[in-house]
Amino acid sequence: DIQVTQSPSSLSASVGDRITITCRASQSINRFLNWYQQKPGEAPKVVVYTASTLQSGVPSRFSGSGSGTDFTLTITSLQPEDFATYYCQQTYSTPRTFGQGTKLEI
- Residue 54 engages another protein in binding (rule: CB under 8 A): no
Number of residues engaging another protein in binding (CB under 8 A): 24
Distance of CA 11 to the CA centre of its chain: 13
Instruction: Report the distance separating Cα 106 and Cα 98, nearest Å.
Output: 24
Interface with another protein, residue 43, by CB under 8 A: yes
Q: Which is nearer to another protein, 12 or 100 (CB)?
A: 100
Chosen residue from 1, 5, 18, 59 binding another protein by CB under 8 A? 1
DSSP single-letter state for residue 57: T
- Could you tell me the smallest distance in angstroms from the CB atom of residue 4 to another protein? 10
Q: Does 45 bind another protein (CB under 8 A)?
A: yes
3-state secondary structure 5-52: EEECCEEECCCCCCEEEEEEECCCCCCCEEEEEECCCCCCEEEEECCC
User: Which residues of the chain form contacts with another protein (CB under 8 A)?
Assistant: 1, 32, 34, 36, 42-46, 49-50, 53, 55, 87, 89, 91, 94-101
